[in-house]
């Protein structure tokens, strides 16, 4: 609220002016002086002034003054001419302004530092501007976040994938959620296109942590009211949250792109690179006119190390589409592609939502075993990781439509159906 630059004086005493109304409302600050009233002899005058001397009342016939209700004698009084009509016009202008539709008046969109390009595309889809937020790091690496606009009573959506460096981006997300909660946001939705630590979703060996559950607890305790994620590593990650989770699938964007290639249905086979991704590959194949399904039997000897053992299904002379949720070091999907080529596949396409691309992923993917590698921009791909076979699709429209449906309490499942 704007501060008045003038001061109101009463005698020799200076009194600061109170904060003014919005700029469209003019405010005038005056002093109501005590005046003697027409009273009978000995009667007290208005505002506690001394009684008029006998016979002087007729000579100084001053009409009595009536102070507004609640006014304090000898204190500044805010006189706002026509304030009621001005307030109505100001409220109507804010509600039906040309820049912001009334239905979006409480929707606020903010971006962290992990993927600002995606957040900007989502804002363009919604017809909004990204909210102003300040994020910096101190010399020792601590993160400082400040929301630089009022979000009191607003529905806030924070877009921040927890991509590498995972710990920094996760901590930034938690601090930003806390800042919005302390700024009195009505609701906070953490939009996490890529959910880090999702692979630690169960105990395979003794004395292991379930980091996916721990991360969910941190996000909840920070103050998030809802989570919106794309292609979680496994379905049980949804159950780790004690708040609502809207789980959307990036396969919609990839399927549209594959449809544009007009591959004959009889020539297509969908392949799961491991047994754990069978459900994902089956759902993908169903959307491709119930294309046949093949499975690569994989054994993993250590983290980020895999060895292909067997192939289940027929791929000879067909176009094989490998489907996975993420590509990290690309060891699993590259070994699967080599087996498919060995079994007679005509072409091999790799499709994944999250392009983590940890070394030596780029070398493996660009080695010539793939006709094309199709990913989305849930994680930003730096220029040094771009190679000729790579195609990056945007999920901005999918995220924007999901945010719009969440904000308006509409069905999100209808996007997949």
pLDDT of residue 305: 65
pLDDT tens digits, 331-370:
989 999 999 999 999 999 999 999 999 999 999 999 999 9
Determine the average pLDDT of the residues in 229-256.
Answer: 95
Token pair belonging to 275: 């047994």
pLDDT tens digits, 33-81:
444 444 444 444 444 444 444 454 444 555 555 555 555 555 554 455 5
Per the prediction, the chain carries an average pLDDT of 82
pLDDT of residue 25: 44
pLDDT tens digits, 212-229:
999 999 999 999 999 999
Pairing of strands 347-355, 372-376: parallel
Token pair belonging to 291: 């294309």
CA distance 92 to 231: 42
CA distance 268 to 292: 7
Q: Determine the Cα angle at 380 with ends 287 and 338, to 5°.
A: 55
Determine the average pLDDT of the residues in 285-299.
Answer: 90
pLDDT of residue 47: 41
Give the best-scoring range by mean pLDDT among 14-18, 133-137, 199-203: 133-137
Q: Determine the Cα angle at 153 with ends 17 and 147, to 5°.
A: 75
Q: In what order do the strands lie in the sheet with 305-312?
A: 305-312, 293-302, 268-272, 319-327, 347-355, 372-376, 390-393
Phi, psi of 61 (to 5 degrees): -75, 90
Q: Which of 51-60, 105-114, 116-125, 203-212 has the lowest mean pLDDT?
A: 51-60
Q: Are 154 and 108 in contact (CB under 8 A)?
A: yes
Phi, psi of 363 (to 5 degrees): -60, -40
**Region of residue 161 (left: phi > 0; alpha: psi -120 to 50; beta: else):** beta
In the three-class reduction of DSSP (H, G, I as helix; E, B as strand; rest coil), residue 373 is classed as: strand
CATH class, domain 251-393, is alpha beta
CA distance 287 to 397: 20
Q: Taking 80 as the threshold, does the pLDDT of residue 84 lie above it?
A: no
pTM above 0.85, yes or no: no
Q: Which alpha helices (H) appear in 288-395, and where do they start and end?
A: 331-342, 361-365
Task: Name the residue ranges covered by the structural domains of the chain.
Answer: 104-248, 251-393
Instruction: For residue 247, name the pLDDT band (cuts at 50, 70, 90).
Output: very high
In the three-class reduction of DSSP (H, G, I as helix; E, B as strand; rest coil), residue 355 is classed as: strand
pLDDT of residue 85: 63
pLDDT of residue 276: 85
In the three-class reduction of DSSP (H, G, I as helix; E, B as strand; rest coil), residue 413 is classed as: helix
For 104-248, CATH gives: 3.40.50.2020
pLDDT of residue 110: 98
DSSP labels, 244-309: -EEEE-THHHHHHHHHHTT--GGGEEEEESSGGGHHHHHHHHHHTTS--EEEEEEEEEETTEEEEE
Q: Are 315 and 296 in contact (CB under 8 A)?
A: no
Determine the average pLDDT of the residues in 202-206.
Answer: 89
């Amino acid at each position: 609220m704007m501060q008045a630059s003038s001061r109101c004086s009463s005698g020799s005493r200076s009194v600061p002016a109170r904060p003014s109304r919005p700029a469209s409302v003019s405010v005038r600050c005056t002093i109501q002086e005590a005046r003697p009233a027409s009273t009978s002899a000995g009667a007290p005058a208005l505002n506690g002034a001394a009684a008029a001397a006998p016979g002087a009342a007729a000579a100084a016939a001053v009409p009595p003054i009536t102070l507004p209700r609640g006014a304090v004698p000898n204190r500044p009084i805010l006189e706002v001419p026509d304030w009621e009509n001005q307030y109505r016009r100001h409220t109507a202008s804010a509600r039906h302004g040309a820049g912001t539709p009334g239905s979006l008046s409480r929707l606020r969109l903010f971006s962290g530092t992990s993927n600002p390009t995606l957040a900007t595309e989502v804002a363009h889809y919604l017809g909004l501007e990204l909210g102003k937020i300040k994020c910096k790091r101190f010399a020792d690496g601590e993160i400082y976040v400040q929301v630089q606009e009022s979000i009191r009573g607003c529905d806030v959506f924070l877009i921040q994938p927890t991509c590498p460096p995972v710990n920094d981006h996760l901590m930034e997300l938690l601090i930003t959620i806390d800042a919005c909660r302390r700024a009195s946001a009505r609701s906070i939705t953490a939009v996490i296109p890529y959910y880090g630590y999702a692979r630690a979703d169960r105990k395979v060996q003794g004395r292991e942590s379930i980091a996916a559950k721990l991360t969910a607890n941190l996000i909840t305790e920070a103050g998030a009211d809802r989570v919106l994620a794309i292609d979680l590593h496994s379905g049980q990650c949804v159950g780790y949250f004690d708040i609502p989770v809207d789980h959307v699938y990036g396969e919609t964007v990839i399927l549209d792109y594959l449809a544009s290639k007009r591959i004959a249905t009889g020539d297509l086979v969908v392949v799961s690179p491991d047994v754990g991704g069978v459900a994902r590959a089956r759902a993908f194949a169903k959307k491709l006119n119930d294309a046949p399904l093949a499975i690569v039997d994989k054994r993993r000897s250590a983290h980020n190390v895999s060895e292909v053992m067997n192939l289940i299904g027929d791929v000879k002379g067909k176009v094989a589409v490998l489907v996975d949720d993420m590509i990290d070091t690309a060891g699993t999907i590259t070994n699967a592609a080599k087996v498919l080529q060995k079994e007679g596949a005509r072409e091999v396409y790799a499709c994944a939502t999250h392009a983590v691309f940890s070394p030596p992923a780029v070398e493996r993917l660009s080695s010539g075993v793939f006709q094309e590698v199709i990913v989305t921009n849930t994680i930003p791909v730096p220029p040094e990781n771009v190679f000729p076979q790579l195609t990056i699709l945007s999920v901005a429209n999918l995220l924007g439509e999901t945010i719009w449906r969440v904000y308006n309490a509409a069905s999100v499942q209808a996007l997949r159906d």
